C-alpha cells in the first residue's frame, strides 16, 4: 500500500529549503558579518566558510524532507551535520585561542 503524503507538508519543507538556500547564497556572496582578524589556518577556513556550510546542510536536510514528504534518516543526518558544524563554527569564533 502506498502512503500519500499531504501536499501542505511538502510545500512547507520546500519553502523552508528555498529560504535556507537563499540564506546560504547571501552568506556566500554578501557575507555573514563575522570577522575574526587573528584567525589563521583551519580556524580561518571554519570562520570564513562555516556559516555558509551550516545553511547549505540545512537546505539539503529540508530538501530531502520535501522529497520524501517527511523527516527521515537523510534529513536527520544532514541536520545533525549542520548542528555539529555550527558548534565548530561557534567554537572557532568565540573559544578558539
Query: What is the mean pLDDT of the segment spanning 69-95?
Result: 97
For residues 29 and 91, what is the distance between their CA atoms, to the nearest angstrom? 23
Q: Note the pLDDT of residue 97.
A: 81
> Which pLDDT tens digit goes with each residue over 2-44?
566 668 889 999 999 999 999 999 999 999 999 999 999 999 9
> Which pLDDT tens digit goes with each residue over 55-77?
999 999 999 999 999 999 999 99
Q: Note the pLDDT of residue 8.
A: 83
Hunting for cell 540564506 — which residue is that? 23
Q: What is the pTM of this model?
A: 0.90
DSSP state of 94: I
Hunting for cell 557575507 — which residue is that? 31
Hunting for cell 530531502 — which residue is that? 64
Amino acid at each position: 500500500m502506498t502512503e500519500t503524503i499531504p501536499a501542505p507538508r511538502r510545500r512547507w519543507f520546500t519553502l523552508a529549503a528555498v529560504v535556507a538556500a537563499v540564506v546560504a547564497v547571501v552568506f556566500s556572496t554578501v557575507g555573514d558579518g563575522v570577522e575574526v582578524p587573528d584567525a589563521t589556518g583551519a580556524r580561518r577556513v571554519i570562520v570564513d566558510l562555516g556559516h555558509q556550510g551550516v545553511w547549505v546542510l540545512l537546505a539539503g536536510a529540508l530538501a530531502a524532507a520535501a522529497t520524501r514528504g517527511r523527516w527521515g534518516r537523510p534529513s536527520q543526518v544532514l541536520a545533525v551535520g549542520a548542528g555539529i558544524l555550527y558548534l565548530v563554527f561557534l567554537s572557532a569564533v568565540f573559544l578558539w585561542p
